[in-house]
Amino acid sequence: SPPLCALRVFSVFQSHKDLNFIHVRQGGLYWVASTKTNASPFTVIEFLNRLAALTKDYCGSLCEKSVRMNFALIYELLDEMVDYGYIQTTSTDILKNFIQTEAVTSKPFSLFDLSNVGLFGAETQQSKVAPSTAATRPIMSHRSEQGGKNEIFVDVVERLSVVIGSNGVLMKADVEGEIRVKCYLPTCSEMRIGLNEEFSIGRSQLRGYGTAVRVDECSFHQAVKLDEFDTYRILKVCPSQGEQTLMQYQLSDELPCAPPFRLFPTVEKDYGSRLLIFLKLRCDLPPKSTALNVSVTVPVPKGSLSLSQELSSPDQTAELQLKNKAILWSIPRFPGGAQLSALFKVPSLSSASLLEVGPVSMSFELPKQTCTGLQIRFLRLSPTQPGMSQRWVRYVTHSDSYTIRI
C-alpha cells in the first residue's frame, strides 16, 4: 500500500502497517495522534477534540500563533492528561489544580476596549457592551492580577446554508445552531437559561401562533437538566470553567424569514468581446442591522488574466484570483436595506465564456441576528455569586454555504 504521505486526501482514521493515525481539524490546525495498539478511533477522536477545547480554554484562543506562544502550557496539559499513553483526565476543574504555567496572550484583555462594539450585548443591558476579545482570554488569571473578572458568556451561533436558483427562488435552506457557554466564574453555580416560550421541536409540537420558533431536531449536553424545559423552555446547568456546548439544533428546508441577501446578476458581452458581469446585491436585513465581512466570489473563465472594475462605494474592494479563477468582491460593512452594485469587465477568450461564469458564492457574518428567531429570555445564576458578576449574550449567524445560481 502507498505511504501516508502519498495520499492526497486523508480520512480521519488511517492505518499503515502496524501504525494507526487519527486526526481532527480544529481552529485551522491539525490535532493528530498515532498508536500501535488497537485503540478505539472514537475514543481517540474524542480525546483530540477535548485537547483542542482545553487548549482554547487555557490559552484563550485556538490558532497557530497562540499554540506557538503557549507551547510549554500545552505540553504541561498533555503531561497531566496522559500518562504513558493512557488518558487520565480531560476535566477542566481537575486540571486547573495542577497547571502552573501561565498563558501568554498577544493582546491584554480590557473590558473597555470597544473596538468591536457590535459583537456583544445583553438584551436587558443595551448600554453595556463587551468587546469581541472578551471571551477569548484564558480561564486562569495571571498571578499578578487580583483575580479575574467574574463573567459568563452565552453565545447563540447559527450557520446558514442556502441555495438560490437563477430565477431567484429559494431552493434549499438549512440552519445548524448551538448554544455555547464560556464560564469565568470561580465557583460552580446553577445557571438557568430561558428560551422563547413558543420554542417548538418538530412540526407536531408547534406552540403559539405566528411567532413560534421551530426547529426540526435538538440535542443537549449531558449535564443539562431538562425538568423545566417541556413546560417553561428553561435549561438548567452547573457550568464548569471553560467553554462547552449546551444545546445543538437544526432546521431544514424552511426559513421563518427571507434570506439575508438577494443578488441580481447580468452577464453579457460587449462589442469588444469583453465579458461584462454586472452584480446588484441587496441586503434584506432590518434597517438597524448590519452584515460584516461580506465577500462575493464569482467564478470566471479559466483563461481570464485581467480585470477592470467599477464599484458603487470606495470602501469596497475587488480582485481577480488567478489561482482560483474567480473574482472576489469584498464588502466590510453592509447595512440592512442597502443595495450595492459592481461592474466587472473580463477579456473574453471564446464564445463559451458566458457558460463558465458562476455560480456565485457568498460568505458573511450577521451579528445580533439568528435565522430561526431563537432568543435568550433571561440568564440567571443561583445562588448569586459573591462580588460583581457580569452576564453577556451574543447572537451571531455565519454563512456555511450560500450559493446563488446565475
Domain total of the chain: 3
pLDDT of amino acid 91: 83
Q: What is the CATH number of the domain that holds 25?
A: 3.30.450.60
Query: What pLDDT is attached to residue 180?
Result: 93
Task: Indicate if 245 and 158 belong to the same structural domain.
Answer: yes
Task: Spell out, as residue ranges, where the chain has pLDDT lower than 50.
Answer: 1-8, 108-134, 143-147
Q: Is residue 145 part of a domain?
A: no
- Same-domain status, 192 and 44: no
Residues 70 and 42 in one domain: yes
pTM: 0.75
Would residue 108 count as lying in a domain?
A: no
CATH number of the domain to which 233 belongs = 2.60.40.1170
In a domain, 113, yes or no: no
Q: Are residues 74 and 14 in the same domain?
A: yes
What are the tens digits of pLDDT across the range 49-93?
Answer: 989 988 888 888 888 888 888 889 899 999 999 998 888 988 877
Looking at residue 376, its pLDDT comes to 94
Q: Is residue 202 part of a domain?
A: yes
What would the DSSP string read from start to end of 193-233?
EEE-TTEEESGGG--SSSS-EEESEEEE-TT-B-TTHHHH-
Q: Are 168 and 242 in a shared domain?
A: yes
String of DSSP letters for 116-185: TTTS--BTTBTT----TTTTSS-SSPPTTSS---EEEEEEEEEEEEEEE-TTS-EEEEEEEEEEEEEE--
- Domain range spanning residue 303? 261-367
CA 86 to chain CA centroid, nearest Å: 32
Tell me, yes or no, whether 249 lies in a domain. yes
pLDDT of 140 = 60
In this prediction, residue 102 carries a pLDDT of: 83
Q: What is the pLDDT of residue 132?
A: 47
Average of per-residue pLDDT values in the chain = 82
pLDDT of the residue at 354: 76
